[in-house]
Amino acid sequence: KNEVEQSPQNLTAQEGEFITINCSYSVGISALHWLQQHPGGGIVSLFMLSSGKKKHGRLIATINIQEKHSSLHITASHPRDSAVYICAVRSYFGNEKLTFGTGTRLTIIP
Amino acid sequence: DTAVSQTPKYLVTQMGNDKSIKCEQNLGHDTMYWYKQDSKKFLKIMFSYNNKELIINETVPNRFSPKSPDKAHLNLHINSLELGDSAVYFCASSQRFDGGKLFFGSGTQLSVL
């Protein structure tokens, strides 16, 4: 079992819908990252958070440390949001390496 | 100006060859990384350097040798390439080793024939 699990693996939605992508992890962490990988392959860091909630434009990321769970929300989704969204956690113990989830492929239909 | 640049973008080569991928960051970050993304799009850390010092060396064959001549550069040299080395390799950097947002290069798609 992967230390970082994402759900759903694939998500197709209509333009304008509210999107939620979930990430659960099993280790103690110092930080959690949400990344976006465009269809062209480039990876962009969306958020890094260790508690609470962060917002950037139409994107909101939340984390619950006690429940070892994070969510990424997209409001008023748009076809340009179509991408793979990847959750990654930085372990609290050990060598601080990042462990990645398997990604959620999001497709927004116009 | 690209923050993290890696070259080449595509690399097609024969089994047994030796190849290098170069990475440079102009962000003034202390820490640089190499990640491998397999055919199922799963990302995995290979190496991490902090101020030119190797910090993380995951279970990677010793045919892979990173080199950091200064903290702005982290190159990856691969000897005796094998079919299983085919993947996309991403370079990344962060301000410090124990945290900070990640900035990724555009990736190098390596195909070993």
- For residue B15, how many other CB atoms are within 10 A of its CB? 11
Cross-chain Cβ contact A44/B104 below 8 Å: yes
Of chain B, the percentage scoring pLDDT greater than 70 comes to 98
- Those residues whose C-beta lies under 8 Å from the C-beta of residue B71, and which sit 6 or more positions away, are B29, B30, B32, B49, B51, B52
Which pLDDT does position A95 carry in this prediction? 62
Q: Which of the pair, B2 or A107, is modelled with greater confidence?
A: A107
pLDDT at A93: 65
Minimum mean pLDDT range among A59-63, B55-59, B64-68, B74-78: B55-59
Interface of B with A (CB under 8 A): 40-45, 48, 55-56, 58, 88, 90, 92, 97-104, 106-107, 109
Residues B65-92 have a mean pLDDT of 95
| Over residues B30-51, mean pLDDT | 90
List Cβ neighbours of A108 (8 Å cut-off, separation of 6 or more).
A12, A13, A14, A15, A17, A19, A77, A78, A79, A80, A81, A82
The whole-number average pLDDT for the span B23-46 is 92
Output the pLDDT for position A94. Answer: 57
Taking CA–CA distances from A5, the nearest residue in chain B reads: B42
CB B58 within 8 A of CB B73: no
Report the gap between the CA of B45 and the closest CA in chain A (Å): 7
- Judging by DSSP bridges, how do beta strands B43-50 and B53-57 pair with one another? antiparallel
DSSP collapsed to 3 states, chain A: CCCEEEECCEEEEECCCCEEEEEEECCCEEEEEEEEECCCCCEEEEEEECCEEEEECCEEEEEECCCCEEEEEECCCCHHHCEEEEEEEEECCCCCCEEECCCEEEEEEC
Name chain B contacts of A33, Cβ cutoff 8 Å.
101-102
pLDDT winner (highest mean) among B18-22, B27-31, B99-103: B18-22
- For residue B92 the two structure tokens come to 């990344």
Q: What is the CA radius of gyration of chain A?
A: 13
**Chain mean pLDDT for chain A:** 92
A98 touches B at CB < 8 Å: yes
**What is the mean pLDDT for each group of 10 consecutive residues in chain A (110 residues)?**
89 98 92 92 92 96 96 97 95 75 96
